[in-house]
Amino acid sequence: MKAPFATLSTLCLGTSLATAALSFTGSPVNQTFTGFDGNSAPLGWDAFGFSSGSGFSENRGLSTGGVSTGGTYAFDLGGSNIALGVQPIASDFTPGYYELEITNNSASTLNGIILSFDGYFLNDQDRSNSLSLSTSTDGSSFTPVSGATFTSPSDQDSSGWTLGLSHSSTVAAIVPVGGSFFLRFTGDDVGGAGSRDEFAIDNVTFSAIPEPSTPLLCGLTLCAFTRRRR
Ligand SMILES: [Ca+2]
Ligand SMILES: [Ca+2]
Ligand SMILES: [Ca+2]
């Protein structure tokens, strides 16, 4: 129920905790978080599962990691490579999620999505946590993406930021023009004890499976429009 909440908060508070959706116009989207400073929501992203409330409500700014205060960070993974990051604590992100909404503003229905992301962890504490990707076309019913989960080790080490998973897959989703596609990255406790490791998401890409030469399902209006563009 993201859109109604954003609308309500805009009306009541004069500000929106969630940001507008990212726009897909036909060219691949690649979100690298360059310029993200950890003080407000990146474009298209929402957050849930923080003790201070929905939206990006616990923004901790820029850090290279090794923090202890729960909340959202712009983590510098090294060499000024910024990622969307989180320090989970008992009351934050256990469980919780970050969610990216992408609206299809291209001229065609999307008949399948190609997506990828890189997930990192900083194993500086003795608990084990996970991060998992699921997707949706309505923002309420989510389906886990096969192979898109990774877990940090329980026993801490000094390895620093570690690539937990570099994932890419195709998702059989149909997104009409004006419709949205949602990527939800959910975190939770897995094992171990004590404080929690840090996590970061980077290089989130989104593109459409190229259209077949003869669309199997399309109305006359869409077919005519599609032909005009070619
Ligand atoms: Ca980055
Ligand atoms: Ca920490
Ligand atoms: Ca750990």
- Closest ligand to residue 87's CA: 2
Residue 2 has pLDDT above 50, yes or no: no
Residue 224 has pLDDT above 60, yes or no: no
C-alpha distances in Å from residue 201, one per residue of 8, 131, 143: 29, 9, 19
- Closest ligand to residue 190's CA: 3
**DSSP conformation letters of 192-226:** E-SS--EEEEEEEEEEEPPPPSS-SS--HHHHHHH
**If you average pLDDT over residues 43-58, what whole number do you get?**
95
The percent of residues above 90 in pLDDT, for the chain, comes to 82
**DSSP conformation letters of the chain:** -HHHHHHHHHHHHSS-SSPPPEEE-SSPEEE--TT--SSSPPTTEEEE--TT-SSS--EEEEE-S---S-EEEEEE-STT-EEEEEE-BTTBSTTEEEEEEEEE-SSS-EEEEEEEEEEEEE--SSEEEEEEEEEESSSSS-EEEEEEEEE--SS--S--EEEEEEEEEEEEEEE-TT-EEEEEEEEEEEEE-SS--EEEEEEEEEEEPPPPSS-SS--HHHHHHHHHH-
Residue 21 has pLDDT above 50, yes or no: yes
Answer yes or no: are the C-beta atoms of 113 and 206 closer than 8 Å. yes
Average pLDDT of every residue of the chain? 88
Phi, psi of 224 (to 5 degrees): -65, -45
Looking at the DSSP bridge assignments, the partners of residue 31 are 204
If you measure from the C-alpha of residue 171 to the centroid of ligand 1, how many angstroms do you get, rounded to a whole number?
23
If you measure from the C-alpha of residue 13 to the centroid of ligand 1, how many angstroms do you get, rounded to a whole number?
32
Q: Where are the domains of the chain?
A: 22-229
**If you average pLDDT over residues 207-212, what whole number do you get?**
84
**If you average pLDDT over residues 51-70, what whole number do you get?**
96
- The pLDDT tens digits of the residues spanning 78-94 come to 999 999 999 999 999 99
If you measure from the C-alpha of residue 89 to the centroid of ligand 3, how many angstroms do you get, rounded to a whole number?
13
Answer yes or no: are the C-beta atoms of 74 and 61 closer than 8 Å. yes
Confidence of residue 54 (pLDDT cuts 50, 70, 90): confident
If you measure from the C-alpha of residue 29 to the centroid of ligand 2, how many angstroms do you get, rounded to a whole number?
30
- The pLDDT tens digits of the residues spanning 94-148 come to 999 999 999 999 999 999 999 999 999 999 999 999 999 999 999 999 999 999 9
> How confident is the model at residue 199, as a pLDDT?
99
> How confident is the model at residue 149, as a pLDDT?
98
**Any idea which fold 22-229 has?**
Jelly Rolls (2.60.120)
Closest residue by Cα to residue 131 from 171, 178, 166: 166
If you measure from the C-alpha of residue 160 to the centroid of ligand 1, how many angstroms do you get, rounded to a whole number?
16
Residue 69 has pLDDT above 60, yes or no: yes
Tokens at 187, concatenated: 């975190």
